[in-house]
A and B are shown apart, each in its own frame.
Chain A
């Protein structure tokens, strides 16, 4: 077994802009160990811009609209994190097949933990090389009661 790295824990929270994000964020923030760095990823379905850079580039206006949507999602996510005293250490928006993006980004940033809303992406749960915290729909219902 390799030595456990001592630098701060990197947690990746993929967001899709739907309600299930909320429970994943609450659970991640509640369970995050002290000093953890939380990174937000807005993975939007669409042609993968990194893989196929020549494939129909989005117009500047489209990209602007996407960035506004992502900013909004990040702002809401940060508000939830802040209600637990946390704030994201970084945020990234990307377009492609969401599961592929999540796995790629998790690898690139050497995430040790991905926090996912269940049903979001079975592929991610199966293929991630790091640990995965899965927040099921049952948890969302419980949070609503609170």
Chain B
């Protein structure tokens, strides 16, 4: 479902309003200090510019490093504020805290178009835990929520998921919306021919992606370390290349199925090095010249040789695949690009995208953390690449067909047109004064969110058989019975109201009716449009030897709304013969 994007909100919903913007600072701490990957910070600029332009008051939330829920001086966000100020050309005020009185005061003092950066959200343990109280505190700083951080969208954080429980509307920022649109274009109805280049390592992460993409692709190239297990499945000689034996049967199954549907292309030639020499080189920390390499052609890689990149014939084949393709998806580098000569194929294909694919308006989507790092290291004009995603893990999740929690948390476009009306929850609590019925009342506020709920108590009494033939009964006796019954009901309501009041819960109405308890409960639930029926597992007349009273059972089987069966904690139902009935 399409999510609301911040620029779809009416401007009057933003002007003068406090908008919480979650961005990904995209900075990783290193031993030498804080490393900035400005591309992520830069991706949030359009949203921040937009908000400033419409006169919103942007309260920016971000995190840096893994401080583990406590303040780490070196991870304060002052350098982020400084960079943002410089990139935006207007001051971004940085606060020393993210929640509490200071931020509330600072936010209250903002003027239209102001930008304010909260302290590192991960200084608070509530952020990673999606803690409701922390999320609520953040929510108090804003009127509108906007998430622009694709690279953390797979995480359920207080600032990406929890906060949306308390702030509406919750919209996607421009960068996040663009990412989602690109993946939707590849997954929903890709322009065909659709070519996939899936490479890199970690077969276990890529197999679900391959499975999900299969019905959508026309041609699939499998490369990188991933390809070795596929080549092994095809009984090709791959020398000392590592193979995932455990998953080999699955790879064979996949190939058998896939080859019926799409054209599968595996690398044809390789750059290979002697495995011992390569290991020595790795051990030395990659100092000095890399081991000598040789080109291996179709006849396979000899023993004791390790493929480290694909060769020119394979690159040429990829070039051919790109010709005429309308959609190209590339994940993962083709070789060990970190060692200069072995990044040649990855670089050549990236260059193809820049020089041939992008100018021809073929859609290309490049994803994966290491591919993104590789492309940035090549010094290519990567801005020309139609789409280079900021999220690696997140992209894989989407490609595998899995939704991202932080995206699910946002409002749907549809909600903007027809907002779901909310009314207080209606809870029906049938009561009979029994221990179990009282327990239901006692634990109601603990087990569910009953705050502001409209609670109705219902006491059903069985009609007395002889009342049917009223004619010969003394009218005074009928009257006395009536009073007795009312009195009994009052008593039941009173003892039920006490524990409810203790939990701060209000009873809206209490009714006494005569009839079959289960039938009356079901009828009454329908009548008031109950959202929930709450009952003890047994009633007053219930036989404790059975696992559940007959009334509860019947209600459970026939109710049109959820039914909460409350049990007395720690009391087992086996051998309950000694319990009172």
Contact = CB atoms under 8 A, between A and B. Distances in A.
A144 interface: no
A72 to B, nearest CB: 6
Nearest to B136: A34
Contact of A139 (B156, B397, B405, B561): B561
Nearest to A85: B165
A113 interface: yes
Contact of B560 (A59, A125, A138): A138
A96 interface: no
Interface stretch (B311-319, B349-357, B376-384, B569-577): B569-577
B5 interface: no
Given A33-B448, A131-B565, A138-B561, A78 B405 contact: yes
B132 interface: yes
Interface string B102-144: 0000000000000000000000000000111101000000000
A68 B564 CA distance: 32
Contact of A84 (B165, B208, B547, B566): B165
Contacts of A35: 131-133
Given A9-B447, A32-B448, A133-B564, A125 B402 contact: no
Contacts of B204: 64
A138 B526 CA distance: 12
Given A33-B448, A87-B130, A125-B548, A75 B397 contact: yes
B564 A132 contact: yes
B449 A31 contact: yes
Interface SS majority for chain A: mixed
B207 interface: yes
A22 interface: no
B246 A64 contact: yes
Number of chain A interface residues as a range: 35 or more
A105 interface: no
A85 B561 contact: no
A39 B559 CA distance: 26
Contacts of B447: 9, 33, 112-113, 131, 133
B375 interface: no
B567 A128 contact: yes
Interface string A115-146: 00010000001111111111110110010001
A86 B130 contact: yes
Which of the listed residues B156, B208, B448 has the most CB atoms from chain A within 10 Å of its own CB? Answer: B448
A82 interface: yes
A110 to B, nearest CB: 9
A79 B166 contact: no
Nearest to A32: B449
A13 interface: no
Contacts of B165: 84-86
Interface in A5-30: 9, 27
A53 interface: no
B162 A146 contact: no
Nearest to A76: B403
B448 A136 contact: no
Given A64-B250, A68-B208, A86-B130, A127 B573 contact: yes
A13 to B, nearest CB: 13
A4 B447 CA distance: 11
Given A31-B448, A68-B207, A79 B556 contact: no
Given A61-B246, A87-B156, A138-B561, A131 B567 contact: yes
B149 to A, nearest CB: 14
B161 interface: yes
A138 B563 CA distance: 11
A45 interface: no
A50 interface: no
Contacts of A134: 556, 562-565
B532 interface: yes
B446 A71 contact: no
A31 B563 CA distance: 12
B416 to A, nearest CB: 15
A118 B135 CA distance: 32
A64 B207 CA distance: 10
Contacts of B548: 125-126
A78 B408 CA distance: 9
B559 A85 contact: no
Interface string A47-90: 00000000000011100110010011001101111111111100
A46 interface: no
Which of the listed residues B161, B404, B548 has the most CB atoms from chain A within 10 Å of its own CB? Answer: B161
7 contacts: A27-B562, A65-B250, A79-B408, A83-B408, A118-B556, A134-B556, A136-B559
Interface of A: 1-2, 4, 9, 27, 31-35, 59-61, 64-65, 68, 71-72, 75-76, 78-88, 112-113, 118, 125-136, 138-139, 142, 146
